[in-house]
Amino acid sequence: MRWTPGEESPDIEDRRDEGGGGGDGGGGGFSFGPRHLGIGGFILVAVLSLLFRRNFFALLGGGTDTRQPVPVPGPAPRPAGGAAADDRMVKLVSFVLDDVQNTWTQALANTDHPYRHAKLVLFTDETRSGCGEAETATGPFYCPADQKVYIDLGFYRELQDRFGAPGEFAEAYVLAHEIGHHVQYLLGIDNQVRRLQASRPAQANALSVRLELQADCLAGVWGHSTAQRNLLEQGDVESGLRAAAAVGDDRLQRMASGTVHPESWTHGSSAQRVSWFKIGFESGDINRCNTFAAGSR
């Protein structure tokens, strides 16, 4: 990506030096389950399954743990530079956060739902959120209760080193996806889906998939704007598509247990995630992101 490091975004809350959040979890009732995992949650469940030789997806409704042990990779090394590498990440997420939010401010300016900025909380290990305790193992997620996105920057190293999705645009896609959930909240889509999930529990996972795929499409809409402004470099689009494919439920379940259980998906397959990101990226039109329409992919 073509971007210029600048001052830290005023919408960032940096809690990396707090040493963990503790606490009682607040009023959001956050739980480590499939309906609450952020975009990185399934990645880290897969990592835990590899490390402990157990199918943790089974605990999330992904079937029984009957597979043979899988090879255990070595720990992902901390990149050279340490603090300097983290500083670069902070500058990048600051740029992306401001750019994504400025894009949505313009896109929703003349609508009944004007854009309001979300906050991005950077943390290490754990912190408190309006949805309960945020932990590294949760992965990046958006909390509608306090309208904040939570990210442990270590997730980006997992995305690159363990799941083969390096690149700045891949990192940007993750944040744009979470801000997409904020857009859904402002438009009232998130609340509608939560009500439907409560009234139709048998469809809860399928509705979650549609919500997540729409956030992928909204991330693509922002990506379209970056292409229009000549912010993309060769290979950036492919980087974003690799990131979308890396966090498909089918790929992660296959890595963890060798089997795939579509009925337990909450984010969609790799192919679905790539497809909906491309729809947003190629059209730049939020109206093309209706993943809930009959016959949608």
Residues contacting residue 269 through CB under 8 Å, at least 6 positions apart: 248, 249, 250, 251, 262
Of 204 and 256, the structure prediction assigns the larger pLDDT to 204
pLDDT score of 160? 80
Q: How far is CA 267 from CA 3, 6, 17, 73, 205, in A?
A: 30, 33, 31, 25, 8
Query: Is 158 in contact with 76 (CB distance < 8 Å)?
Result: yes
Give the pTM. Answer: 0.79
pLDDT of residue 236: 83
User: 119-122 and 126-129 as β-strands: parallel, antiparallel, unpaired?
Assistant: unpaired
HSE (side-chain half, CA atoms, 13 Å) at 189:
21
Least reliable range by pLDDT among 73-87, 118-132, 212-226: 73-87
d(CA 258, CA 131): 32
pLDDT mean over 143-153: 96
Domain boundaries, the chain: 12-71+97-289
Measured in Å, how far apart are the chain's first and last C-alpha atoms?
Answer: 29
Both structure tokens of 136: 């590294």
Percent of the chain beyond pLDDT 90?
Answer: 53
User: Which tops the pLDDT comparison, 87 or 73?
Assistant: 87
pLDDT value of position 42:
53
SS3 content of the chain, % helix, strand, coil (to 5): 50, 5, 40
pLDDT digits (tens, 9 = 90+) for 235-270: 888 888 888 887 788 888 888 888 899 899 999 999
